[in-house]
A and B are shown apart, each in its own frame.
Chain A
Amino acid sequence: MTPSPLVQELILAAIKVALLIGALQGLFSLMTWIERRVLAFMQFRLGPNRTGPFGILQPIADGIKLFFKEELMPAAANKWAFLAAPVLAVTMSFLAVAVLPYGPPFRLPSWGFLPEWLQGRELQLQIATLDVGLLFVFAITALGVYGVVLAGWAANNKYSLLGGLRSAAQMFSYELALGLSFVGVIMLAGSFQINDIVSSQASRAGGWFLGWNAFVQFPAFLVYFAAATAEVARTPFDLPEGETELVAGFHTEYSSMRFALIQMAEYVNMITVAALATNLFLGGWHSGIPGVPSEGLPGFLFWGGKLAVLLFVFIWLRGTLPRFRYDQLMHFGWKVLIPVAAVWILVTATGVALAGR
């Protein structure tokens, strides 16, 4: 019996969602270990190397430890908000990934064990192909602030509250620069759809990687990377949890699995902005060298490789740069990044108008 097209779509979407959430959680736990190891090597230490080969089972050990820890809640905390905040943060971080493509379209082979309607079916490696994909990501990022703000407020602790307010101020200051850095890319592609933006880069410069937005839109790429680092509160912009001033910022009072949830939200956000940069600026799944295939599995590997490089750069930055001071942070966001992005939009717009598109 063949299910109706709507049911088929729903089944496929459910499978994709389950796979993607699983993959993100795996990547999150792997990232915690990689980050600690890489940072350790950068500081002439060894890092966690005892649990399993090279310490790769460390995330599992950490997970078990967090699972069995006592869960504390401050007596003066607002109970419901305190419980809801980490869930809100994680939900928003997973939602944003839904519209990002993570590989080229892929045709299922005609394996005998697959139901008939799945054989030879073309699949998009993306949960939802939205007409306004980029705006959706932007909207979800805007909502992501609330998880942090709510967490900071609900704990009824002054360090938490200050951390939450700081994050809110930082996130919506840098959201502007982030949004402006997209505009040039959107103008060149003529579409908000992330798939269109990926394919628009492949056709430029004869298929060479010089046609990618990272080169064509170099200033926008720099602005994006700086703003994205601030948006996910990574060093050098990790003021919301500046240990020296705020204990641990908005998640001071969180323990056990709720702490793990907040960590997960932060890492998934980092993976999201890296994946977005891969798609918008680094040509997505395209190889960037004419003649090298970027369909099917190679395309997926190229995409994953670019993501891995960007994630490494995030860790690298954390290993090398000191933290900004708060006034420097605001100065850099409002008086450097936003004007640069605005001027670059004018340059791109002039170019697009002169090219007669």
Chain B
Amino acid sequence: MDQILFYAAAALAIGSALVVIGQRNPIYSAFALIVTLCSLSVIFGLLGSPFIAALQVIVYAGAIMVLFLFVLMLLNVESEQQAAGRGGRALGAIAVALVALLVAQAGAVLARVEPGPAPAFDASTRRMAEILFSPQFLYVFEATSILILAALVGSIALAKKDL
């Protein structure tokens, strides 16, 4: 059951990720990205971490992608009609070669690894909170919060000339 769900979610994630980069219409790309993020959330859920799964949908698929779509719709971005020129083609060829190299390396690594069940890990909400607020990660966690706060203040200061 879990395996069926995993393969379905994985296939959906990869398929929609391909649509994200293959589509010429940015709105379709954005919606495909939402599908990718939701299928990743299903995989998090299958890994026994419903908390991360829910956050993935709330933060990425919900909040961030709504802003993306908002901007795309407000600017009414036209879909890309022109095919890439010669320089674009050369770049494309390099990119394909690099991706092929990456896939080959990943395959080589995967061939060496013995498949087996993941080590048992308690990923409940309580355990997550305990880890995040333990002395090991507390500083990093709070520093990230302050960084985000600074970014917020900065963006407001930039957007609004006279406060």
1/0 per residue, CB under 8 A from A, across B120-149: the answer is 000011000000000000000000000000
How many angstroms between the C-alpha atoms of A165 and B54 in the bound complex? 25
On whether the beta carbons of B69 and A135 are closer than 8 Å, the reply is no
On whether the beta carbons of A142 and B57 are closer than 8 Å, the reply is yes
Name the interface residues of A141-160: CB closer than 8 Å to any CB of B. Answer: 142-143, 145-146, 149-150, 153
On whether the beta carbons of B58 and A149 are closer than 8 Å, the reply is no
Question: Which residues in B have their C-beta under 8 angstroms from that of A192?
Answer: 51, 125
Q: Is B46 part of the contact surface with A, judged by Cβ < 8 Å? A: no
CB-CB under 8 A for A165 and B57, given A145-B62, A146-B34, A150-B31: no
Question: Which residues in A have their C-beta under 8 angstroms from that of B31?
Answer: 146, 150
The residue in chain A whose Cβ has the minimal distance to the Cβ of B73 is A153
On whether the beta carbons of A164 and B73 are closer than 8 Å, the reply is yes
Q: Which residues of A contact B (CB under 8 A)?
A: 6, 81, 130-132, 135-136, 138-140, 142-143, 145-146, 149-150, 153, 161, 164-165, 168-169, 172, 175, 192
Question: Which residues in A have their C-beta under 8 angstroms from that of B47?
Answer: none
Name the interface residues of B20-62: CB closer than 8 Å to any CB of A. Answer: 27, 31, 34, 38, 41, 50-51, 53-55, 57-58, 61-62
Contact partner, B55, options A135, A150, A153, A165, Cβ 8 Å? A135
How many angstroms between the C-alpha atoms of A130 and B41 in the bound complex? 15
Q: Which residues of B contact A (CB under 8 A)?
A: 1, 27, 31, 34, 38, 41, 50-51, 53-55, 57-58, 61-63, 66, 69-70, 73-74, 124-125
Q: Is the interface of A mostly helix, strand, loop or mixed?
A: helix
Question: Which residues in B have their C-beta under 8 angstroms from that of A81?
Answer: 27
The residue in chain A whose Cβ has the minimal distance to the Cβ of B1 is A6
A selection of 5 A-B contacts at a CB cut-off of 8 Å is A132-B125, A139-B54, A142-B58, A172-B62, A192-B51
Question: Which residues in A have their C-beta under 8 angstroms from that of B50?
Answer: 130-132, 135-136
How many angstroms between the C-alpha atoms of A86 and B125 in the bound complex? 34
How many angstroms between the C-alpha atoms of A136 and B57 in the bound complex? 9
On whether the beta carbons of B62 and A136 are closer than 8 Å, the reply is no
CB-CB under 8 A for A145 and B66, given A135-B51, A135-B58, A153-B27: yes
On whether the beta carbons of A161 and B58 are closer than 8 Å, the reply is no
How many angstroms between the C-alpha atoms of A172 and B68 in the bound complex? 13
Instruction: Specify which of B51, B55, B73 lies most central, judged by the most chain A CB atoms within 10 Å of its CB.
Output: B73
How many angstroms between the C-alpha atoms of A29 and B53 in the bound complex? 34
The residue in chain A whose Cβ has the minimal distance to the Cβ of B56 is A139
Q: A143-B34, A168-B69 are in contact. List 7 more A-B contacts (CB 8 A).
A: A132-B53, A135-B50, A139-B58, A140-B57, A143-B38, A143-B62, A146-B31
How many angstroms between the C-alpha atoms of A132 and B54 in the bound complex? 8
The 8 closest A-B pairs by CB, nearest first: A142-B62, A135-B54, A139-B57, A132-B50, A139-B58, A132-B54, A139-B54, A131-B50
Contact partner, A131, options B61, B62, B125, Cβ 8 Å? B125
Question: Which residues in B have their C-beta under 8 angstroms from that of A143?
Answer: 34, 38, 57, 61-62
Question: Which residues in A have their C-beta under 8 angstroms from that of B53?
Answer: 132
How many angstroms between the C-alpha atoms of A132 and B48 in the bound complex? 12
On whether the beta carbons of A165 and B70 are closer than 8 Å, the reply is yes
Question: Which residues in A have their C-beta under 8 angstroms from that of B124?
Answer: 131
**A172 nearest CB across to chain B (Å):** 6
On whether the beta carbons of B62 and A132 are closer than 8 Å, the reply is no
On whether the beta carbons of A136 and B70 are closer than 8 Å, the reply is no
Instruction: Specify which of B41, B74, B125 lies most central, judged by the most chain A CB atoms within 10 Å of its CB.
Output: B125
How many angstroms between the C-alpha atoms of A136 and B41 in the bound complex? 11
Question: Which residues in B have their C-beta under 8 angstroms from that of A172?
Answer: 62-63, 66
Question: Which residues in B have their C-beta under 8 angstroms from that of A164?
Answer: 73
**B1 nearest CB across to chain A (Å):** 7
Contact partner, B73, options A6, A140, A161, A175, Cβ 8 Å? A161
On whether the beta carbons of B73 and A138 are closer than 8 Å, the reply is no
Instruction: Specify which of A135, A161, A164, A169 lies most central, judged by the most chain B CB atoms within 10 Å of its CB.
Output: A135
The residue in chain B whose Cβ has the minimal distance to the Cβ of A193 is B125
